[in-house]
Amino acid sequence: MSLTSSIRDKLYCMAEKKISEERRESTTQTAEELKVPSMEKELEELRREFFKFMEFCIPPKEVRDEVMKNLYNIPLSILKAFRTILDYEIKVLEERVKETERKPKSRRIAVE
């Protein structure tokens, strides 16, 4: 059986189309595969830059415990300061009350 030239040409064109489509698919797949690592690399670079920036904000490990202890003690220190101020104000008010209680009202003595 011999194929006519027109059928042979059609089969050849179909084969070329199929091959070109497979190539396109493979290139898009490889392009997608290439994009994923590049995104991972970009993400890794962003992480590194973020940690470099945060190094200035976060104290070193040796000091971190002391800083955390001080952060926990801040509310206690504030409350102690308020207590001291309140104690002083109470003392001042108590002294004023005692002074008013001590002083008897002065009476005028009638001179004849």
* Tens digit of pLDDT at every position of the chain (112 positions): 455 777 777 777 788 888 888 887 777 666 566 565 677 888 888 888 887 777 777 777 778 788 788 888 888 989 999 999 999 999 999 999 988 876 666 777 777 6
pLDDT the model gives residue 65:
82
The separation between CA 94 and the C-alpha centre of its own chain, rounded to angstroms, equals 49
- Quote the pLDDT of residue 32: 60
What kind and span of H or E run contains 99?
A: helix 61-102
Amino acid at 69: K
Within 8 A by CB and 6+ apart from 11, the residues are 3
Nearest to 78 by CA among 89, 86, 88: 86
Quote the tokens at residue 103: 């002083």
